[in-house]
C-alpha cells in the first residue's frame, strides 16, 4: 500500500517542455487545473500528498517521477538522460522532501544516466528499460544499489517507447497493462497481460494506488478493461501533459 506521494506544481514555462509529440504546446492555466484534479484523485486513494513549488527554470520539473526512485528501503536520486533535466535531480526542496521520509538516500553517478520513468516496480523487483534516457551504466548502478538493500532489478531492452512506463503499468495482483513492443517482450511472459491497442497506447500509463487505478481521460477501452478486472477507477485528464510527453505516472513519486 502507498502512504505518501510527492508532486510538483507545473511552472509557467511548461510550454517549453521537451516533446516528441506533435500536439501543440500545453496551456499553463489548463495544466494547472489538470494537476489540481490529479492531486485530488491521489488524495481519494488515502495517501498524504506533499506538494512542491513550481520551478520556472525547469519546464519539465512537474514530472517528478524521473528524478528519484522511491523504494521500501531507500530513495535513489537519478541522473536524467535529458541534459536540460539533469539539475532537477539536485533541487534542494526535492531532497528535503525525500529526507523527511527516508533515512537512506543514494545517488546515480556519471557516466550512468537513468530516469525513473524507465523503472517499473513489481514488489521488491524493478524492471529497468534501456532507452534514450537510461543507459546500461545507469541501469547497472541502479541494480547494484537495489541489491545492497536486499531488492533486485533487471534491464529490459527497448526500441520504440520514450520510457518503459510509457507502455507498461503494473496494477498489482500480477496484472500488467502492455502496449506496443512490450506485448511480446519475454520479460513479461509470466504476467496476466492486458493488451492495449496502439490507438489507446497513451492510456497504458495508469497508476495503481491502494486498490484504485487512476486512468487518463479519453481512453474508454483501457478504462473498460481495468474495470473488468474489478478495480475502482478514477479518471483524470492529462491532455496538457501529453503534449510534452508526460503521463499519469510521471507526475508523482509514490511510496
Determine which of 17-26, 63-72, 75-84, 173-182 has the lowest per-residue pLDDT on average.
Answer: 17-26
pLDDT at residue number 21: 74
Supply the DSSP string of 173-188, one letter for each residue: TTEEEEEGGGGS-GGG
* Residue 196 near residue 179 (C-beta atoms within 8 A): yes
Supply the DSSP string of 203-244, one letter for each residue: GG--EEETTEEEEETT-HHHHHHHHHTT-EEEEE--HHHHTT
Indicate the pLDDT class of residue 58, thresholds 50, 70 and 90: very high
Check pLDDT > 90 for residue 213.
Answer: yes
Check pLDDT > 90 for residue 103.
Answer: yes
CATH 3.90.1420.10 fits 4-254, yes or no: no
Write out the three cell numbers for 62. 512537474
Q: pTM score, two decimals? A: 0.97
Give which of 96, 93, 138 is closest to 117, Cα–Cα: 138
Indicate the pLDDT class of residue 197, thresholds 50, 70 and 90: very high
Supply the DSSP string of 32-99, one letter for each residue: HHHHHHHHHHHHHTT-EEEEEPP-TT-TTTT-GGGGEEE-SS-EEE-B-SSGGGGGGGG-HHHHHHHH
Indicate the pLDDT class of residue 19, thresholds 50, 70 and 90: confident
Check pLDDT > 90 for residue 18.
Answer: no
The predicted model gives 204-208 an average pLDDT of: 97
Check pLDDT > 90 for residue 145.
Answer: yes
Residues labelled catalytic: 163, 250
Check pLDDT > 90 for residue 20.
Answer: no
pLDDT at residue number 57: 97
Work out whether the CA dihedral 42, 13, 134, 19 comes out positive or negative: positive
| Residue 11 three-state SS | coil
Indicate the pLDDT class of residue 76, thresholds 50, 70 and 90: very high
* Residue 236 near residue 248 (C-beta atoms within 8 A): yes
The predicted model gives 127-153 an average pLDDT of: 98
Determine which of 15-29, 171-185, 230-244 has the lowest per-residue pLDDT on average.
Answer: 15-29
Residue with cell 509529440: 21
Give 92 or 162, the one with higher predicted confidence. 92
CB atoms < 10 A from the CB of 30, how many? 15
Residue ranges per structural domain of the chain: 4-254
Write out the three cell numbers for 214. 487512476
Q: What percent of the chain has pLDDT over 90?
A: 96
pLDDT at residue number 23: 81
- Between the alpha carbon of residue 16 and those of residues 67, 84, 115, the distances in Å are 19, 11, 19
The predicted model gives 199-220 an average pLDDT of: 97
Amino acid at each position: 500500500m502507498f502512504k505518501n506521494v510527492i508532486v510538483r506544481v507545473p511552472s509557467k514555462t511548461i510550454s517549453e517542455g521537451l516533446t516528441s509529440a506533435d500536439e501543440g504546446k500545453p496551456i499553463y492555466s489548463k495544466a494547472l487545473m489538470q494537476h489540481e484534479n490529479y492531486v485530488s484523485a491521489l488524495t481519494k486513494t488515502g495517501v498524504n500528498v506533499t506538494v512542491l513549488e513550481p520551478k520556472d527554470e525547469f519546464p519539465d520539473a512537474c514530472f517528478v517521477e524521473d528524478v528519484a526512485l522511491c523504494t521500501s528501503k531507500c530513495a535513489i536520486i537519478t541522473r536524467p538522460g535529458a541534459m536540460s533535466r539533469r539539475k532537477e535531480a539536485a533541487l534542494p526542496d526535492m531532497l528535503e522532501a525525500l529526507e523527511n521520509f527516508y533515512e537512506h538516500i543514494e545517488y546515480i553517478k556519471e557516466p550512468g544516466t537513468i530516469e525513473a520513468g524507465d523503472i517499473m516496480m513489481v514488489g521488491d523487483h524493478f524492471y529497468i528499460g534501456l532507452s534514450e534516457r537510461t543507459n546500461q551504466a545507469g541501469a547497472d548502478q541502479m541494480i547494484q544499489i537495489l541489491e545492497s538493500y536486499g531488492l533486485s532489478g533487471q534491464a529490459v531492452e527497448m526500441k520504440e517507447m520514450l520510457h518503459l512506463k510509457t507502455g507498461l503499468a503494473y496494477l498489482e495482483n500480477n496484472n500488467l497493462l502492455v502496449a506496443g513492443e512490450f506485448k511480446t517482450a519475454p520479460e513479461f511472459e509470466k504476467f496476466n497481460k492486458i493488451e492495449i491497442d496502439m490507438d489507446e497506447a497513451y492510456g497504458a500509463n495508469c497508476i495503481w494506488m491502494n486498490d484504485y487505478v487512476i486512468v487518463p481521460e479519453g481512453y474508454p477501452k483501457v478504462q473498460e478493461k481495468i474495470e473488468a478486472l474489478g478495480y475502482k477507477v478514477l479518471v483524470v485528464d492529462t491532455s496538457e501533459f501529453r503534449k510534452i510527453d508526460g503521463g499519469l505516472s510521471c507526475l508523482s513519486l509514490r511510496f
